[in-house]
Chain A
């Protein structure tokens, strides 16, 4: 298939996914509407993570800190300074981007296992910082956003975040935007440079690429997207708490990505969806639902090391971004 057709087709597939999400809101009961809203926000987180892990080959074990940066950047400004929702949302994203840049300057001096450990440690520090400033953050217990900050005016429309359909559509809008951003980043020249770094960084440097600068850009973008998810999560569900900065929230996007397929755009979305419902269903039957995730992960690595979409791409459509 020539590259033009394949691009149109892959755009079509991605559009179909977005449209099905849109259509689902008319049939889903309230509970699933809420679940899917969360799934879409977590999928944004996973897409941000995957930009770094799947395309560039850098495994961060501390992405919760970027999610939390968005969450606290948005939540604290609303709670303490009474910022409006759009301003707080953007501030959360900027916090994540800045944190990503600063962490990148330090952590990107390492690679492989050292990079994993450094990011893990920084995430731990971020968690401790949140708990340390408990006067402002209320640590573990967290903060609930006051009701008067749950609505806002944008372009003449008044939007209320207490309405579940509104939230759903906003989450879908952000997810679509994220997929588009990732799609644009990973195709063409920039994407090729990322894959080159993933496959053989020293060789890539010897082909004239400033690999450090490229990795720093990607980490910053990845952190900003993760923060966008956290920022939206805080504002839509009106709660921020330190549990979102724990190691579990660093591991989750990795699980979602592995399940769906690292280095694909749809993989993390599919992975988040499946894993979320898998845990949801499993937890109805057993309190040991984490065991289920563990088993899934083991099976995955044994039989689908490239994830569901990775396997599909390898077998049927190599052009899928």
Chain B
């Protein structure tokens, strides 16, 4: 396996708060990697540093062996890192198709097939029938999925999904898991997720974050067996599995 992304002693401070407090993290190419942890653990902040939405206070980030710590966000996207927002951030006044097309006409790809790639992305997530609808008029679940479609339309090497299943129905979640497996054929996926069933069914690797630090990293089995993780966060997991 080759390493796609690493961070070294990555820190993000908001005033006095160390939202990310020195994280060494490695992401292997081709995996589905889940990032879990309690609310306020720093997960969104951490991936925001990876995609460049936030600037790191200290430490460094390497993508495909090159340092990208100082690289502006738009360049990282072109380098192959796509991020979908935790708080849905679509163009609500534009049509669903336009939303996907804006993502698809990514400068790295040939211009002429942008519209085709936008269509393909919408088909993959099952939104093709809504192409001409105004994005803001979609049901919440569909808006979340559109957010994912925009990430897919970028055809990234690394797709970062921030709580993509939040607010989805059970059926939608099931379809979503299928979609992620399909995307994973070409794309490495870093997934922030609270839904443990989704995490356990999708992830090959899990990292646990708490108070800005990486608490543990391992396979789903290892994480479930980890006592420190149990006490910090996963107390609920067995109940959920039993239920």
Query: A residues touching B (Cβ–Cβ < 8 Å)?
Result: 189, 192-193, 195-196, 199-200, 202-211
Contact = CB atoms under 8 A, between A and B. Distances in A.
Contacts of A208: 74, 77-78, 106-108, 154
B106 A203 contact: no
Interface string B68-108: 00001111011000010100011111100010011101111
14 contacts: A189-B105, A189-B111, A192-B102, A193-B102, A196-B91, A196-B94, A200-B89, A202-B53, A202-B89, A203-B85, A206-B74, A206-B77, A208-B108, A209-B107
Nearest to B150: A207
A206 B94 contact: no
A189 B91 CA distance: 16
Contacts of A195: 94, 98
A231 B131 CA distance: 45
Nearest to A199: B91
Interface residues of B, number: 28
Which of the listed residues A196, A206, A211 has the most CB atoms from chain B within 10 Å of its own CB? Answer: A206
Given A196-B91, A199-B93, A207 B77 contact: yes
Contacts of A202: 53, 89
Contacts of A199: 91-94
Contact of B105 (A192, A200, A203, A210): A192
B208 interface: no
Given A193-B105, A202-B89, A211-B74, 20 more contacts: A189-B111, A192-B98, A192-B101, A192-B105, A195-B94, A195-B98, A199-B91, A199-B92, A200-B89, A203-B85, A203-B91, A206-B74, A206-B85, A207-B77, A207-B150, A208-B77, A208-B78, A208-B107, A208-B108, A209-B74
A209 B154 CA distance: 12
A200 B91 contact: yes
Contact of B83 (A204, A206, A209): A206
Contacts of A206: 51, 53, 73-74, 77, 83, 85
| Interface residues of chain A: helix, strand, loop or mixed (majority) | helix
Contacts of B159: none
A209 B89 CA distance: 16
A206 B107 CA distance: 13
Contacts of B93: 199
A116 B99 CA distance: 28
A196 B100 CA distance: 11
A196 B74 contact: no
Contacts of B150: 207
B114 interface: yes
Contacts of B74: 205-206, 208-211
Looking at A189, A208, A209, the one whose CB has the most chain B CB atoms below 10 A away is: A208
Contacts of B77: 206-208
Contacts of B154: 207-208
Contacts of A210: 72, 74-75
B160 to A, nearest CB: 10
A204 B150 CA distance: 11
A239 B128 CA distance: 58
Interface in B9-61: 51, 53
A82 B78 CA distance: 51
Contacts of A204: 102
Among B83, B91, B93, B98, find the residue whose CB has the most chain A CB atoms closer than 10 A. Answer: B91
A193 B103 CA distance: 10
A193 B101 CA distance: 10
Nearest to B103: A207
B97 to A, nearest CB: 11
Contact of B114 (A189, A203, A205): A189
B10 to A, nearest CB: 19
Contacts of A193: 102, 105
B202 to A, nearest CB: 23
A320 to B, nearest CB: 15
8 closest Cβ pairs, A-B complex: A208-B77, A199-B91, A196-B102, A208-B78, A203-B89, A207-B103, A210-B74, A208-B106
A248 B88 CA distance: 41
Nearest to A192: B102
Contacts of B108: 208
